[in-house]
Structure 1
Amino acid sequence: MIDSSKQDLMRTIQVKFPRLSKGQKLIAEYILKQYDKAAFMTAAKLGDSVGVSESTVVRFANELGFSGYPKLQKALQELIKNKLTTVQRIELSNNYITMENALKGVLKSDMENIRVTLEKINPKIFDEVVNCIFNAKRIYIIGLRSSTALAEFLGFYLNLILDNVKVVAYGVSDIFEQMINISKDDLVIGIGFPRYAARTIEALNYAHGKGTKVVAITDSLLSPLATKSDYTLIAQSNMASFVDSLVAPLSVINALIIAVGLREKEKISSIFTGLEDIWEEYKVYSFKNDTLF
């Protein structure tokens, strides 16, 4: 399924090929054969590579239905984002983020990710996931590599509300050993974004084979995590650089935690009352008043 968007773009180029100009055909042939390289080229550089002008490259993008070359380039980058090495991601970020605009550029990118997430996420699926959390006998959360922080965050707060949550992580035992007792009454929540961690995909496949309900928090319905899941929560994670953008995924996870908490208001109030006493007794947090005297 991951290759469907690639096939759509490549098919569009093939269908339009006979009507293209001679110069545009050279561009089309180059992209069909080396789309992974073309994704990192400016219009001028792509034109130089095939021996045509920059304006010809722009007209080629228009011919494919894109408003400009940057839109075509973005589509090409989407095709290969899961295959990008860290070095390629650095090269990609250099096209958009500079030392002068790093703060503003990254913040604007993250704002756009949240905006797109709000448009893409399905509220009904979100509510069904909340129901699944309450109906599950046990809840397993797995997110590896850069998604580890997200999995730990979700696990930390769900553990305060519920008492049946386990975060599956790398450690002394393999992830499959930690999931050996999963059953159809349980729930597995998998978190992953490009580049998708292979072990997370394998874990979801294992759970799916056991008849366990699977929820994926990922960037697209074309994600390999989504193909293994019963429910998918979409969170945009377009990267502004070699660092993964986890702002929108974290926002979705925050919403999930709060939605679960709202159903357990009395329990949460009791838990945090007890925790406040413990925190104060054992000086878990630094209180400002303590520093005044």
Structure 2
Amino acid sequence: MDFNTASLIKDRYEQFPPQMKVAARWLVDHPTEVALLSMREQARRARVPPATLTRLAKRLGFDGFDKLKEVFADSVRERPESFGGGGESLLARGEIGGDGVLICDTVNALQGHLSRFAQPSAIAALAAAADLIAEAKHIFCIGRRSSFPIAYLMHHVGSLLGSPTTLIEGMGGASDDALRSVGPEDILLAVTVSPYTRFTVQAAEFAVSRGAKLVALTDSELSPIAKISQIVIRVRTEIPSFIHTMTPALAAVECLMELVAARRGSCALQALAANKEHLVEFDTYVLKSGVGTNSHDQRRTGN
């Protein structure tokens, strides 16, 4: 998708009427489908009238929708079904093709999602986020509901690498207390996907108002936290099922923290060694180093 067109959509998004917002989000989130599918089919998938796409194109300064299509990428990607709408299809496919079909469909969708992280734009976003994290005075991590494991992984691995991190959990109803000290030298790593948890959005807005930098791990360039962030790491969540997947988000964090470790260098190695000594002192694991373990197991520092 053309960068200038994407920026134009994001800049004008809040000015659009409700149906046009739906259409705009479709354009941003599905650039290859926009390039390849007919306007009528896109309208059906976006669940808006075809005329809405035409009006959106003209609102963006194009003569018509066909002209808008020309600025989108021409790569072909099969679109999985959206979250919440695949339950009936899942049952039908299971009855016809059996367990193997259901598993293969999901694996194929995940492979497509994960392969996006090898694209230059995704690598650039991850690298930029790693630069900010490596330089931050303090790192705050937040994610609710299905996004919580992602935030926890960022906090856990960051701590292993010696980065000063705080996981915003909400124990005892004191979620907002953790952000009391956030400031311009800090970073908030926020994770949320559609339909977006309210507190995560509020925490992101608060951190930004205090001058902190925001790294958004989210499913759309038009999500509430993406629009106020310095860096957006976009992850896909659609699989042919009745739930959304968080596997790409986990993979994104693993890639991100590898880059952070590389940037911290010897400091990361020292932190990992200190953590290993701590685990040994507390007799954390059943398997002992050198007993029933291989060299890879011995390098692990916590799980």
Comparing 228-237 with 261-270, greater Cα deviation is found at 261-270
Change (3 A) 1:198 1:159: same
* Paired residue secondary structure (2:272): helix
Which residue of 1 is the match for residue 265 of structure 2?
Answer: 265
Kindly indicate whether the alpha-carbon contact (under 8 Å) linking 1:130 and 1:260 is maintained by their aligned counterparts in 2.
yes
Residue 267 of structure 1: how far off its partner (Å): 2.5
Which residue of 1 is the match for residue 22 of structure 2?
Answer: 6
- Segments of structure 1 that go 5 or more residues without pairing to the other structure are 12-23, 34-64, 66-70
Residue 138 of structure 1: how far off its partner (Å): 1.4
Aligned counterparts of 1:10 and 1:167: Cα–Cα separation in 2: 33
Aligned counterparts of 1:157 and 1:115: Cα–Cα separation in 2: 23
Aligned counterparts of 1:130 and 1:236: Cα–Cα separation in 2: 20
* Paired residue secondary structure (1:187): strand
1:90 partnered with 2:106: no
Aligned counterparts of 1:239 and 1:257: Cα–Cα separation in 2: 25
Change (3 A) 1:219 1:120: farther
Which residue of 1 is the match for residue 211 of structure 2?
Answer: 211
Give 1:262's aligned amino acid. Answer: A
Residues 17-65 of structure 1 deviation map (CA, whole Å, 9 limit, x = unaligned): xxxxxxx9xx98xx657xxxxxxxxxxxxxxxxxxxxxxxxxxxxxxx9
1:43-58 equivalences under 5 Å are none
Aligned counterparts of 2:157 and 2:89: Cα–Cα separation in 1: 35
Kindly indicate whether the alpha-carbon contact (under 8 Å) linking 2:134 and 2:264 is maintained by their aligned counterparts in 1.
no
Kindly indicate whether the alpha-carbon contact (under 8 Å) linking 1:117 and 1:236 is maintained by their aligned counterparts in 2.
no
Residue 109 of structure 1: how far off its partner (Å): 1.4
Aligned counterparts of 1:165 and 1:261: Cα–Cα separation in 2: 14
Which residue of 2 is the match for residue 166 of structure 1?
Answer: 166
Residue 285 of structure 1: how far off its partner (Å): 1.9
Change (3 A) 1:218 1:96: farther
Residue 6 of structure 1: how far off its partner (Å): 2.6
Kindly indicate whether the alpha-carbon contact (under 8 Å) linking 1:116 and 1:236 is maintained by their aligned counterparts in 2.
no
* Paired residue secondary structure (1:263): helix
Kindly indicate whether the alpha-carbon contact (under 8 Å) linking 1:110 and 1:248 is maintained by their aligned counterparts in 2.
yes
TM-score norm. by structure 1 comes to 0.67
- Segments of structure 2 that go 5 or more residues without pairing to the other structure are 1-12, 28-39, 50-68, 70-75, 293-303
Q: Which structure's CA Rg is the greater one?
A: 1
Kindly indicate whether the alpha-carbon contact (under 8 Å) linking 1:140 and 1:188 is maintained by their aligned counterparts in 2.
yes
Kindly indicate whether the alpha-carbon contact (under 8 Å) linking 2:161 and 2:269 is maintained by their aligned counterparts in 1.
no
Count of aligned pairs: 231
Residue 256 of structure 1: how far off its partner (Å): 0.9
Residue 97 of structure 1: how far off its partner (Å): 5.8
Residue 273 of structure 1: how far off its partner (Å): 2.9
Residue 264 of structure 1: how far off its partner (Å): 2.5
Give 1:178's aligned amino acid. Answer: A
Aligned counterparts of 2:105 and 2:120: Cα–Cα separation in 1: 22
1:1-293 equivalences under 5 Å are 1=13, 6-7=22-23, 32=48, 84=84, 88-91=85-88, 93-94=90-91, 99-100=98-99, 101-119=101-119, 121-287=121-287
Among all aligned residue pairs of Structure 1 and Structure 2, give the percentage whose two residues are the same amino acid. Answer: 17
Residue 120 of structure 1: how far off its partner (Å): 7.3
TM-score norm. by structure 2 comes to 0.65
CA RMSD of superposed structures (Å): 3.5
Kindly indicate whether the alpha-carbon contact (under 8 Å) linking 1:93 and 1:241 is maintained by their aligned counterparts in 2.
yes
Residue 233 of structure 1: how far off its partner (Å): 1.0
